[in-house]
Structure 1
Amino acid sequence: MNFIMQQLVNQKINSISKEEFMQLAEKQGYPLSSEQADSVLRILRQHTINVGNKKQVESIIYQLTKETDSYVSSTVSQLFQKYSHML
């Protein structure tokens, strides 16, 4: 696992703005509404994200599944998966 890349990704996820998150999702082909982005960021802000911690990522995805709709949790899961090979 590339420690430097992991730290950069953690820093970005922990500090991403709503606008940046929506742009990233749309760029990757997963458009989100403003309300959906708010829901995701509310949940992400409850944690200090460490993308190298697979249990934490799974827990966050599970929380998203419970507290948002399946599209949102699936979208975030796919975004994590898309970039996990870089870590």
Structure 2
Amino acid sequence: MNKSSPLALLALLAGCAATPHYDQHFGEAVRRARVAMAIHRGAPSADPAAGIDGQAAREAVTRYQDSFKTPPPVVNVINTSGAGAAK
């Protein structure tokens, strides 16, 4: 056995002894960020249909479902034809 082996082993064990302080705060930043992103903590239990009448809701759902059958036409917002381009 080498004389430096016990010293190396002691150094490794000393490094492992320092980790419990770090481990107790592991994930704390993620938990704080998740809490900060929650605007309304009671949102899942809130009434989702409050403030909209039945006819408007039905029409919104129908338009949403029909948008997959016949998508709206694509609109070209950049005029490259030269007809209306600035001179």
TM-score by length of 1: 0.23
Q: Report which structure shows greater RCO (CA 8 Å, sep ≥6).
A: 1
TM-score by length of 2: 0.23
Q: Which has the higher helix share?
A: 1
